[in-house]
Chains A and B, each alone.
Chain A
Amino acid sequence: MPGIKDRVAIAGVGATRFTEHYEKDHEDLICEAVDEALGDAGVARGDIQAIWAGIYYQFTGLGGPAVADPLKMYGIPVTRVENYCASGMDAFRNACFAVAAGVYDIVLACGVEKITDQGSRGLPNVREGAHPFLPPASAPAMFAMSATRCFDVHGWTKEDLARVAVKNHANGAKHPKAHFRRAITMEDAVNAPEIASPLGRFDCCAVSDGAAAVVITRPEIARTMKHKDDFVVVKANGLSVETANPMYKPGFEYLGFPATQTASRAAYDEAGITDPFEQIDLAEVHDCFTITELLNYEDLGFCKKGEGAAFVRDGLSAPDGPLPVNPSGGLKSFGHPIGATGCRMITEVARQLQGRAEGVQVKDPKIGLAHNLGGPGAVSSVTILGRNDTL
């Protein structure tokens, strides 16, 4: 298996600001993100040969036309990808594989979500014709049950969770496109109203609208394009699926997400990473909730099981620490328009590797990781990107 390592390049990236875009619809957002990405890559719409679009909610848009229509990019394959909150990075994965397979030269991966248009608060229940007696809990509730276990087993506290929120808000405050551009204190986080115990308001990402797009090609083509000197290469992607119903799975520990463990091991194997903490220079990880980021540190192999709380407490994931995690502010502060998040992470890591992450640039990164998680730990996608001097 030749895999995709070093055979796929990122030629351009774009993203909208993530916020409540009351004045824009999903078409406005996808146009804005794609236009920026195409401009960044120096290509025209007619140069794109295929599109994969991550969209989670059906009210955002169904099918390929959800993206083809606003852009008027007809006559080419356009595929909507849905894989819970990892929809965006799965769109990116499919686009990478198509390029690595040699089927296309230049393709687009993008994602968009227009959550505020659904007409009610919070995240809507998407299970049409829902099961009468196996209803899903709210997303905070599903992740909160991991926090409850970690408090019991590891002795973690609300303060341990709050450190993630404080760090990510401080990071997001410096990013021009982040939803929440305000730093918070430990007191703010610990004393916030409870959403699903033990998670409070600042432990949960909010509802945001937004879109992101990535132009993907092969390295040899990227060398002829606008970013010929600083294009980014894809080192690996791993995607793994576990049960969406851990609450019915006998023995499920709630102390981590096996999908992230298997997805990251697959990605590390392909990228040749044997010591993630040493070899990875920055990470954008899926902090839908503060507890998720703590568990991500462990599942991604940044630290040992049970050490997630210490990892942030000791400053290891701080922007000036040895492994900055979510310098963008993450889902917590940057925002989480579901289908857009995976591609937004890719744009963020690419900009960091290119040294143009205005306001939030970490020091001289060569290898970056992006991690997208969906469902109650059901789908995980891990992408490793590198500067092109790693080729």
Chain B
Amino acid sequence: MTGISAWGAYIPALRLERSLLGKAWGTPALPGARTVRAGDEDSLTMGVEAALTCLGDRARDDIDAVFFATTTPPYAEKHAAATIAAVLGLRDAMTSDVTGSLRAGAAALRGALDAVDAGTARTALVVAADNRPAEPATAMEQLFGDGAAAVLVTKEAAVEIVSRASNAEDFTGPWRRPGDSYVKTFDPKLETEYGYIRPVGAAAKKALGERTAGAIVGYAPDPRTLAQLSKKLGIEARDALFKTAGNLGAAHALVALAAALDDASVGDRLLLVAQGEGADAFVLEVRASVTSALPVRDQLAAGAPVPTYESYLRSRRLLPSDAAEPKSSTITYWRDRAQALPLIGVRCGNCGTVQFPANRACYECSVFDQMAPVSLQRTGTIFTFTLDHLLGGEYLETPLPRVVVDLDGGGRIFLEMTEVDPSSVAIGDRIEMTFRLLHDGAGFHNYYWKARPPRRAPVRV
């Protein structure tokens, strides 16, 4: 039966202690911390991270559709799914962005299930990511978090989706008009009871029918509302996220699902819920044991604190900056999409030297036209570096580590390094590459790769 055969989440590295927000504004603080995307991350880059974790080394040639779900798309016009597909090397995939609703992640999952069931896609990738804008000094600023998840929908899946149900409810709250800076809400009690509990409860009952489930996972605006739903349905709710990550918006349901699946056993039955102008409910049964390479719990445990509230404001572009706009070119960016986004270099047929960007004449033996494309590995070792105090990235602090890296499997590349204590960078350090927003030169988002310390713990034998 159609379902989910692989999943992966991305929890950004930075954590903002909610006590820091309480201190900044003199307001009561919720317990725990929220996740914060870095200044060079957005919904698209977080989505790429989740997708790469989800797919791992799996062959990708059967992935016919890519859905990207978010309420915070990087562009109002120009969808992100095509960029994600390009990074993944999926040149022939059907791509769609699903946006405008907290239910976007679930809606994308519905679309993927329909496509695979209908046979229009052999395999469909669903990516959900969000980094919703919360007004400073509000409870939302404390509650919201940033994150992403991806699930791979196939026939004959390890996690079968045995039933599902949906409904629609025109409900104003929360909302954001084009041009609004922050999410708006009106009456929390109305939103909880009529906007969430009633439609989610109805969809859940319809999807479950005579069945029950071991646990509820999925979206709720806050932990109290999730507890209310649990009570109403008489099913335990599993909340892995509110205390350590926050309300992850359109990504919340799939991140919560990924966290639950990381810890699930064969035979478990889960109820996945999502809400936003109505509700979706899915009943999932775990048929085979699958693990994620980077379990959500490990990512949640691995955060680093945002040092100050001011640095959070800066990374969120909430403080004005007159940073110079770097130069760029849409033409160059387009021409290089086939090598830069999926990281395709060339290997010399004469001497075997792997090089990037592509050369027609070999750097090593200078032979002409003997090059064949080769996928570069996204891990390597620092050969040399500098901490550059002169050219920082947009909204990034100096000094900026710049590293020359010898990639595993060949190729040398020059990258900015992110999410690292500059003073700790050393020759011989291992790095992995992470997809980031480099700058906004020429008025568009220039995405590319950076280096960071490896997130993956060494494999324990």
Contact = CB atoms under 8 A, between A and B. Distances in A.
A196 B384 contact: no
B402 A141 contact: yes
A132 B364 contact: no
A247 B355 contact: no
Interface stretch (A51-59, A143-151, A177-185, A278-286): A143-151
A152 B427 CA distance: 8
Contacts of A261: none
Nearest to B426: A152
B441 interface: yes
Interface in A115-148: 122, 125, 127-135, 137-138, 140-141, 144-148
Interface in B388-407: 388-391, 399, 402, 404, 406
Interface in B350-368: 353-357, 363-364
B438 A248 contact: no
A191 interface: no
A148 B427 contact: yes
B31 to A, nearest CB: 40
Contact of A247 (B364, B404, B448): B404
B373 to A, nearest CB: 16
Contact of B387 (A135, A194, A249, A251): A194
Interface of chain B: mostly helix, strand, loop or mixed? mixed
Contacts of B383: 149, 254
A194 B387 CA distance: 9
B244 to A, nearest CB: 34
B336 A194 contact: no
Contact of B427 (A149, A193, A250): A149
A245 B327 CA distance: 19
Contact of A131 (B332, B388, B390): B332
A137 B387 CA distance: 11
Nearest to B412: A250
A132 B427 contact: no
A247 B363 contact: no
Given A128-B327, A130-B328, A132-B446, A148 B386 contact: yes
A98 interface: no
Contact of B364 (A141, A144, A194, A251): A251
A197 B399 contact: yes
Interface of chain A: mostly helix, strand, loop or mixed? loop
Centre residue among B333, B364, B412 by max chain A CB count within 10 A: B412
B388 A248 contact: no
B30 interface: no
A138 B390 contact: yes
B327 A127 contact: yes
B149 interface: no
B412 A249 contact: yes
B50 interface: no
B411 interface: yes
Interface in B77-117: none
Interface string B332-352: 110010001000000000000
B326 interface: yes
A250 B413 CA distance: 9
Contacts of A128: 327
A146 B441 CA distance: 29
B421 to A, nearest CB: 13
Contacts of B336: 131-133
A349 B442 CA distance: 46
A137 B389 contact: no
A137 to B, nearest CB: 5
Contacts of B327: 125, 127-130
Interface in A234-248: 243, 245, 247-248
A240 B411 CA distance: 25
B387 A196 contact: yes
Interface residues of A, number: 38
A140 B326 CA distance: 19
B385 interface: yes
A17 B388 CA distance: 30
Given A129-B332, A130-B326, A135-B326, A145 B385 contact: yes
B414 interface: yes
Contacts of A145: 384-386, 402, 404
Contact of A250 (B328, B354, B384): B354
Given A137-B388, A138-B390, A132 B332 contact: yes
Given A138-B390, A248-B356, A248-B413, A133 B438 contact: yes
B410 interface: yes
A152 B329 CA distance: 38
Nearest to A250: B412
A196 B389 contact: yes
Contacts of B412: 247-252
Nearest to B385: A148
A311 to B, nearest CB: 22
A148 B448 contact: no
A176 B399 CA distance: 36
Given A133-B340, A250-B412, A141 B386 contact: yes
Contacts of A140: 386, 388, 390
A73 interface: no
B363 A249 contact: yes
B391 A138 contact: yes
B376 to A, nearest CB: 12
Given A130-B441, A197-B399, A137 B386 contact: yes
Contact of A129 (B329, B390, B438): B329
A195 interface: yes
A288 B283 CA distance: 67
B414 A247 contact: yes
A15 to B, nearest CB: 28
Given A129-B327, A196-B390, A250-B353, 7 more contacts: A127-B327, A145-B384, A147-B386, A148-B386, A243-B363, A248-B357, A251-B364
30 contacts: A129-B327, A129-B329, A129-B332, A130-B441, A132-B328, A132-B333, A132-B438, A132-B448, A133-B340, A133-B446, A137-B402, A141-B386, A141-B388, A145-B385, A146-B384, A147-B386, A148-B385, A194-B389, A194-B399, A196-B389, A196-B399, A197-B399, A198-B386, A247-B412, A249-B412, A250-B363, A250-B364, A250-B406, A251-B412, A252-B412
Interface of A: 122, 125, 127-135, 137-138, 140-141, 144-149, 152, 193-199, 243, 245, 247-252, 254
